[in-house]
């Protein structure tokens, strides 16, 4: 039944060229004139380029993002560009993934860039393990002062995703798996990826690929670094929505206004018991 509801985006045919890309990389962009070309170009130099497309959605930028996209990629057969009124990261991501034609979907933020082997590495893993819905890698964090930090996700357990986002960049998932969710939320302005990953974890297996495939450029303009209080608030919302979807009789709250820890408590009818667990949500 599910196979009938989820469309086939690409059929294999020996000895024939594929009419549609196997992998799509989506990039939601907002006021990204300084970095968008680097992001897109990091996709176009991938070892997997012949089976790859890039889908960029300009979310109503007020700078020259759209002009840069048109000037550089309007006639590029490997790139689709779209522009919409500003609707937020969730709206732009939904538009982008909806336009993706690939069987596999990779995520790239407009201010970051990929390693040249990123797409091929995770696409190969999805080919090898058809039961897995999403693979993610390690990443390199680049700071404005020139310092570098390598982030490695060790001993990954999907159950820990409820305590915080432990599914790091680079991420690649099957589009048919995404179609089984309600998509990205437009009710929050950050923690949107975290909310989406919780949804994907409910319908598919997630695995870690222990190689550095992604360069995360950390700076004050990052959506994830703006308004930390709002960030933590939306993390809690994403967790609460996940608990509701899973019909779990638990609630959660932060341990103090400026705390990075979240406390879970069991619900019994309309009353709370004292059974709690506290974990760091970072």
- Considering the domain architecture, whether residues 9 and 149 belong to the same structural domain is answered as yes
Last-in-domain residue among 188, 208, 226: 226
Per-10-residue mean pLDDT of the chain, 282 residues long, equals 42 48 98 98 94 98 99 97 98 98 98 98 98 98 92 83 90 98 94 96 96 90 63 88 83 59 52 38 40
- Considering the domain architecture, whether residues 209 and 259 belong to the same structural domain is answered as no
- Considering the domain architecture, whether residues 158 and 62 belong to the same structural domain is answered as yes
- Considering the domain architecture, whether residues 147 and 27 belong to the same structural domain is answered as yes
- Considering the domain architecture, whether residues 275 and 149 belong to the same structural domain is answered as no
How far apart CA 56 and CA 129 sit, in angstroms, is: 28
Last-in-domain residue among 183, 209, 226: 226
- Considering the domain architecture, whether residues 204 and 136 belong to the same structural domain is answered as yes
Residue closest to 188 by CA, chosen among 242, 129, 130, 148:
242
Tokens of 237: 């919302």
What are the φ and ψ backbone dihedral angles of 239, each rounded to 5 degrees? Answer: -65, -45
Can you give the pLDDT at residue 274?
35
- Is residue 95 within a helix (H) or strand (E), and if so which, with residue range? helix 89-99
- Considering the domain architecture, whether residues 145 and 212 belong to the same structural domain is answered as yes
- Considering the domain architecture, whether residues 146 and 82 belong to the same structural domain is answered as yes
How far apart CA 86 and CA 88 sit, in angstroms, is: 6
- Considering the domain architecture, whether residues 235 and 210 belong to the same structural domain is answered as no
Domains: count for the chain: 2
- Considering the domain architecture, whether residues 247 and 154 belong to the same structural domain is answered as no
Q: Which domain holds residue 256?
A: 229-280
- Considering the domain architecture, whether residues 96 and 138 belong to the same structural domain is answered as yes
Can you give the pLDDT at residue 278?
36
Can you give the pLDDT at residue 6?
44
- Considering the domain architecture, whether residues 120 and 214 belong to the same structural domain is answered as yes
């Amino acid at each position: 039944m599910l196979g009938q509801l989820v469309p086939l985006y690409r059929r294999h045919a020996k000895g024939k060229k594929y009419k549609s890309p196997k992998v799509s990389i989506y990039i939601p962009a907002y006021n990204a004139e300084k970095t968008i070309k680097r992001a897109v170009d990091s996709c176009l130099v991938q070892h997997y380029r012949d089976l790859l497309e890039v889908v960029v959605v300009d979310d109503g930028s007020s700078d020259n993002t759209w002009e840069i996209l048109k000037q550089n990629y309007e006639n590029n057969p490997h790139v689709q560009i779209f522009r919409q009124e500003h609707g937020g990261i969730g709206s732009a991501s939904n538009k982008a993934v909806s336009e993706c034609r690939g069987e596999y979907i990779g995520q790239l933020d407009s201010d970051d860039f990929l390693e040249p082997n990123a797409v091929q590495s995770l696409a190969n893993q999805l080919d090898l393990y058809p039961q897995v819905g999403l693979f993610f890698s390690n990443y390199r964090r680049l700071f404005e002062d020139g310092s570098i930090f390598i982030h490695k996700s060790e001993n990954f357990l999907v159950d820990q995703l409820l305590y915080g986002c432990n599914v790091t960049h680079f991420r690649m998932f099957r589009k048919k798996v995404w179609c089984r969710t309600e998509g990205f939320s437009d009710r929050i302005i950050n923690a949107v990826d975290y909310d989406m990953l919780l949804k994907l974890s409910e319908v598919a297996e997630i695995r870690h690929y222990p190689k550095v495939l992604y360069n995360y450029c950390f700076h004050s303009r990052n959506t994830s670094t703006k308004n930390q209080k709002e960030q933590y608030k939306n993390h809690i919302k994403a967790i609460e929505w996940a608990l509701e979807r899973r019909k779990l009789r638990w609630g959660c709250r932060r341990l103090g206004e400026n705390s990075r820890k979240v406390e879970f408590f069991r619900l019994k009818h309309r009353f709370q018991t004292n059974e709690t667990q506290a974990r760091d949500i970072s």
